[in-house]
Amino acid sequence: MNISPIRNEPDYEKVLMRVDELMELNPKLNTPESDELEILSMLIEKYEEMHWFISAPDPVEAIKFRMEQMGLKQKDLIPFIGSKSKVSEVLNHKVDLSLSMIKNLYNGLHVPLDVLIQSDKMAVR
């Protein structure tokens, strides 16, 4: 087993091919092949984190996505956000989410807290 860091895209592609080969072998645990697969997987994960970081979605877009998933209309958010006009203001980025709104949306719609609380995109009151 000769493992080296993934420094660029060709290295990355080479490691991906080797992982495919190892996956085809379906190695038993605690064998040299399974150890190599585990180490290469960690290298791939680290490389992807460093080069393809995906930021959390905009909180309002996440709420809209959850609404779509659940078949909800704006009026269905009134219990979580407040009045009909407040829901409209939030969904149109005119008003930031308050702490109580965040708590309600997390508890009621299960929108992840890390998505709802983003200080660089919005001010939590």
Domain contains 124? no
What domain count does the chain have?
Answer: 2
Task: Return the number of other C-beta atoms located less than 10 Å from residue 116's C-beta.
Answer: 22
Q: Tens-of-pLDDT digits for all 125 residues of the chain? A: 788 999 999 999 999 999 999 999 999 999 999 999 999 999 999 999 888 877 778 999 999 999 999 999 999 999 999 999 999 999 999 999 999 999 999 999 999 998 998 754 444 44
| 8 Å CB contact between 57 and 21 | no
**In terms of domains, do 24 and 71 share one?**
no
Q: Which domain holds residue 73?
A: 59-116
**In terms of domains, do 71 and 111 share one?**
yes
